[in-house]
Chains A and B, each alone.
Chain A
Amino acid sequence: MMPAPIARLFPRAQPKAAAFTGLLIAAAALAAVPFVLGMNFGNSWVRIVDFALLYVMLALGLNIVVGFAGLLDLGYIAFYAVGAYLYALLASPHFGLHLPLWVILPLGAACAALFGVLLGAPTLRLRGDYLAIVTLGFGEIIRIFLNNLNAPLNITNGPQGIANIDSMSVAGHALEKPLVLFGIALPSLYLFYYLFLALAILTMFICIRLEDSRIGRAWVAIREDEIAAKACGINTRNIKLLAFAMGASFGGVAGGLFAGFQQFVSPESFGLLESIMVLCMVVLGGMGHIPGVVLGALLLAILPEALRYAARPMQIWMFGRMLLDPEALRMLLFGGALIVVMLFRPAGLWPSAIRRREFASAEKET
């Protein structure tokens, strides 16, 4: 019998042909998503899914910090902001710079990673609640800076934000224009979907590889017992900073994509509520478990929109007329759904085996 960790280390142990067919079916299904949504529900739904994919990247990045290394970060959206503003400044008429996507995205990742280290370095000795408060402050500082850096030198254009940002172009094609391929016209929103999907899958792939590595084990060891981790020879300072930097760099890439997609950024997109939303995705999906986190991100990004559409017919069906404004009702339902999930599945919707055990043992102890 093969022990479980070894099976995890060599996932290729399953028959290759079956794995390949499975992969092909999954790829076809994912490729069909925008067509199915666009034709049945309209293009606004494709747009919602595009955003959901950005949230998947954000949640996966935050999961490295919160889920793997166990460091509670309430200011994560700051790295998204750094990536987005970097794109905005380097590809818009604001400074007259128009750098290509493949230059800006790595630069955004690196810049966000640097900010991750800047946040991580002074907070190395903090844990839990204290760390949460400092990271919360950090997130707000970045937002307030963006809001006020329009005088004396106009860098961020202040609360008005930066508009007319260049759209992204991949292989010479600007994604804001539809692409005709083999006689099929692919609208711009579909193209963004494919780009975001590719990068979300890449992010997921990196996370999976990291989780099952020496680095991933060191992160979990720090989460489990920092002193014992030190006694095993782990340089906890560097490994924690690495978690902050890696997590932040995913946020930076997602931010760059956001700026190129919206073609407009302003500080109000990067408030505390956004940080909390991403944290909710990680916690609700299942901290530290990559498939769970992806599920959490997709659900929380799509559910509020679905509720917006469902609120009206639901009320008419139940009461025969509209009682509440759909906008108010959807947040009420959304909050209620979060509470219900956390009550009945405290370890998240789809927790990793290890987290499930942690929660089970915590319950036994209390």
Chain B
Amino acid sequence: MSELLLDARGIRKNFGGVRALSDVSLTIHKGEIYGLIGPNGAGKTTFFNVLTGLYTADAGHIDFAGHRLDLGQAHQVVRAGIARTFQNIRLFGNMTALENVMVGRHTKSRAGVWGAVTASRATRAEEKAIVARAHALLRYVGIDARANDLARNLPYGDQRRLEIARALATEPGLLALDEPAAGMNASETAALRHLIENLRADGITILLIEHDVKLVMGLCDRVAVLDYGEKIAEAAPEVVQRDARVIEAYLGGPVQ
């Protein structure tokens, strides 16, 4: 396989007495779609939150594109090139779709107080570029027609797309999607799948948490399975599907 993009080693996270993640290690290669699956409560979202800096890990470290990530510092993780979406969509509901994506350009723009107040030539050019880029991203995910609608008024599927556009605005090397198909109907899921395939074709590596097994098996190059905070398998989807421990984790103990 190609170049290593993300290398997580021994990630451990406890919540009080509960061990949510015990020494999870996984690697993601450049250009692949990597699935993270597991039964409810297996620690998938916890791993996401550690990876994207919303939680601090109790042990372990993550290297991304050759640099050690500053875990627990969400904005540093974004700067390093990892963007995410949320399982329960978190848009800026009272801002327009366009403004949401413009916020996503924060790390890629630099205007400070002085630039903003004087509206210097550089600041004005930057603002213009931010608007142009935001429109381009909305077009990319297919919702530019709704650029001036409030995010909260968009249909559910478009909100998911908007969240992806906002994440893309940070120019990520790795896009982490937390259950992007949750609550979607069949045609919306098919459209989402198309979008994710486009993203991969455009060179973005994707980490996907998903419950829709068909989607995961159809899309992912490799899949890791978490169960009770432990990684119990990591392989190509066909291999994982036949893994005895995985079947046990999903269906309970072997049938007596």
Q: Which residue of B lies closest to A6 (CB)?
A: B131
Within 8 A of B (CB), among A1-39: 3-6, 9
Please choose the segment from B2-10, B108-116, B217-225, B246-254 that sits at the chain A interface, where 4 or more of its residues have CB less than 8 A away.
B108-116
Do the beta carbons of A215 and B91 come within 8 Å of each other?
no
Do the beta carbons of A232 and B78 come within 8 Å of each other?
yes
CA distance A22 to B202 in the complex (A): 51
Do the beta carbons of A221 and B90 come within 8 Å of each other?
no
Do the beta carbons of A232 and B112 come within 8 Å of each other?
no
The residues of B that contact A221 with a CB separation of less than 8 Å are 92, 95, 103
Known: A214-B109, A227-B90. Contact between A5 and B53, CB under 8 A? Answer: no
Do the beta carbons of B93 and A224 come within 8 Å of each other?
yes
The residues of B that contact A206 with a CB separation of less than 8 Å are 117
Q: Which residue of A lies closest to B91 (CB)?
A: A228
The residues of B that contact A205 with a CB separation of less than 8 Å are 117
Q: Which residue of B lies closest to A235 (CB)?
A: B75
Out of B74, B78, B147, B170, name the residue touching A3 (CB < 8 Å). B147
- Shortest CB distance A69–B (Å): 13
CA distance A241 to B165 in the complex (A): 28
Do the beta carbons of B116 and A216 come within 8 Å of each other?
yes
| A185: interface (CB < 8 Å) | no
Known: A213-B111, A217-B103. Contact between A233 and B79, CB under 8 A? Answer: yes
The residues of B that contact A357 with a CB separation of less than 8 Å are 94, 150
- Shortest CB distance B134–A (Å): 9
| A242: interface (CB < 8 Å) | yes
- Shortest CB distance B160–A (Å): 14
- Shortest CB distance B10–A (Å): 24
CA distance A209 to B115 in the complex (A): 9
Give the A interface residue count (CB, 8 A).
36
| A361: interface (CB < 8 Å) | yes
Do the beta carbons of A225 and B92 come within 8 Å of each other?
yes
The residues of B that contact A123 with a CB separation of less than 8 Å are none
Out of A216, A233, A246, name the residue touching B78 (CB < 8 Å). A233
Within 8 A of A (CB), among B184-208: none
Within 8 A of B (CB), among A208-264: 209-210, 212-218, 220-221, 224-225, 227-236, 242, 246
- Shortest CB distance B126–A (Å): 8
Known: A9-B127, A230-B54, A231-B78. Contact between A210 and B113, CB under 8 A? Answer: yes
Out of B54, B84, B109, B131, name the residue touching A9 (CB < 8 Å). B131
| B174: interface (CB < 8 Å) | no
- Count chain B CB atoms within 10 A of each CB in A6, A212, A232 and give the residue with the most: A232
CA distance A225 to B74 in the complex (A): 14
Do the beta carbons of A5 and B107 come within 8 Å of each other?
no
Q: Which residue of B lies closest to A242 (CB)?
A: B113
Do the beta carbons of A210 and B116 come within 8 Å of each other?
yes
- Count chain B CB atoms within 10 A of each CB in A214, A216, A231 and give the residue with the most: A231
The residues of B that contact A327 with a CB separation of less than 8 Å are none
Interface string of B66-84 (1 = CB under 8 A from A): 0000000011001100011
The residues of A that contact B86 with a CB separation of less than 8 Å are 227-228, 231
Q: Which residue of A lies closest to B132 (CB)?
A: A6
| B87: interface (CB < 8 Å) | no
Do the beta carbons of A220 and B116 come within 8 Å of each other?
no
The residues of B that contact A129 with a CB separation of less than 8 Å are none
The residues of A that contact B179 with a CB separation of less than 8 Å are none
| B25: interface (CB < 8 Å) | no
| A358: interface (CB < 8 Å) | yes
CA distance A284 to B119 in the complex (A): 30
Q: Which residue of A lies closest to B112 (CB)?
A: A215
CA distance A212 to B128 in the complex (A): 12
| A318: interface (CB < 8 Å) | no
Q: Which residue of B lies closest to A4 (CB)?
A: B148
- Count chain B CB atoms within 10 A of each CB in A5, A205, A225 and give the residue with the most: A5
The residues of A that contact B83 with a CB separation of less than 8 Å are 231
| B152: interface (CB < 8 Å) | yes
Out of B53, B93, B96, B147, name the residue touching A230 (CB < 8 Å). B53
The residues of A that contact B116 with a CB separation of less than 8 Å are 209-210, 212-216
The residues of B that contact A220 with a CB separation of less than 8 Å are 92, 95
- Shortest CB distance B148–A (Å): 5
Do the beta carbons of A210 and B117 come within 8 Å of each other?
yes
CA distance A228 to B150 in the complex (A): 16
CA distance A213 to B105 in the complex (A): 12
| B19: interface (CB < 8 Å) | no
- Shortest CB distance B255–A (Å): 42
| A181: interface (CB < 8 Å) | no
Q: Which residue of A lies closest to B152 (CB)?
A: A361
CA distance A92 to B107 in the complex (A): 47
Do the beta carbons of B150 and A5 come within 8 Å of each other?
no
- Shortest CB distance B120–A (Å): 11
Interface string of B130-157 (1 = CB under 8 A from A): 1100000000000000011010100000
- Shortest CB distance A13–B (Å): 13
Known: A3-B147, A217-B103. Contact between A231 and B90, CB under 8 A? Answer: yes
The 10 closest A-B pairs by CB, nearest first: A233-B78, A213-B116, A233-B107, A230-B74, A228-B90, A224-B92, A235-B75, A221-B103, A214-B111, A209-B117
Known: A5-B148, A216-B116, A232-B103. 4 other contacts (CB 8 A): A9-B127, A220-B92, A227-B86, A229-B103
Can you report 18 residue pairs joining A to B where beta carbons are below 8 Å apart?
A3-B147, A5-B96, A5-B98, A5-B102, A205-B117, A206-B117, A209-B117, A210-B117, A213-B123, A214-B105, A214-B111, A217-B102, A218-B103, A224-B93, A228-B91, A230-B53, A231-B54, A234-B75
